[in-house]
Amino acid sequence: MEQINPDVLISEDDISLRINALAKAINEDFSGEELVVICVLKGAFMFCSDLIKKIELPVRLEFIQLSSYGDGMTSTGNVKIEMDVSTTLKDKNVLIVEDIVDTGLTITTLLKMLEIRDPKQVKLASLLFKPSRNKHKVPIDYLGFEIEDKFVIGYGLDYAGRYRELPYIGVLNAGN
């Protein structure tokens, strides 16, 4: 089995602490309300899983899968819904949970697609944001970490379908 040894950019402990803070803000902002949490597959699965464990509100968990990236490091620029949520969003409080906002194209397109379903409100939680790459102004209501322009892996994020299982955010180094 091939060994992998990425550099740690954000540790498991730091992710956990940050998620506690984000969940606290979400609990306060939506106090007394129900929440439809939409986990954007596949990259957000680990973040979403840890985040909802800390949410103390009635949650309906939904999944959506989009295609925008190929198997590499750049977007195809063409965002499509591959798998949709299974509930109506009309008059619902919606929290989109995303892994990373890079250029912002994916999330901007998703927000437009969901807005026409007439939700009560839509908020966005993203674990990571790369400001230097951002082309579409994206309102991130609950942001984990701003990072430099590096391609990151782990904690749900992949490179060519690999490394999602790592419990931290890492960067592939020259030895990998």
Q: Where are the alpha helices (DSSP H) in the chain?
A: 12-29, 45-53, 105-115
In terms of Cα–Cα distance, which of 76, 75, 95, 77 is closest to 85? 95
Return the range that interacts with ligand IMP (CB under 6 A); candidates 7-15, 26-34, 80-88, 97-105: 97-105
Residue 48 backbone zone (phi > 0: left; psi -120 to 50: alpha; other: beta): alpha
Residue 176 touching ligand IMP (CB under 6 A): no
Residue 48 touching ligand IMP (CB under 6 A): no
User: Shortest distance, CB of residue 40 to ligand IMP, whole angstroms?
Assistant: 6
Residue 106 touching ligand IMP (CB under 6 A): yes
33: how many CB neighbours lie within 10 A of its CB? 12
Residue 145 touching ligand IMP (CB under 6 A): no
In terms of Cα–Cα distance, which of 9, 7, 4, 2 is closest to 176? 4
Among residues 39, 51, 62, 99, which is the contact residue for ligand IMP, using CB under 6 A? 99
16: how many CB neighbours lie within 10 A of its CB? 12
Binding mask 1-40 for ligand IMP (x = CB under 6 A): ----------------------------------------
Residue 156 touching ligand IMP (CB under 6 A): no
Residue 105 touching ligand IMP (CB under 6 A): yes
How far, in Å, CA of 58 to CA of 44, rounded? 20
Whose Cβ is closer to ligand IMP: residue 30's or residue 155's? 155
How far, in Å, CA of 125 to CA of 10, rounded? 17
Residue 62 touching ligand IMP (CB under 6 A): no
Q: Which residues are catalytic?
A: 102
Please report, as ranges, the residues that interact with ligand IMP according to CB under 6 A: 43, 68-69, 75, 98-106, 151-152, 157
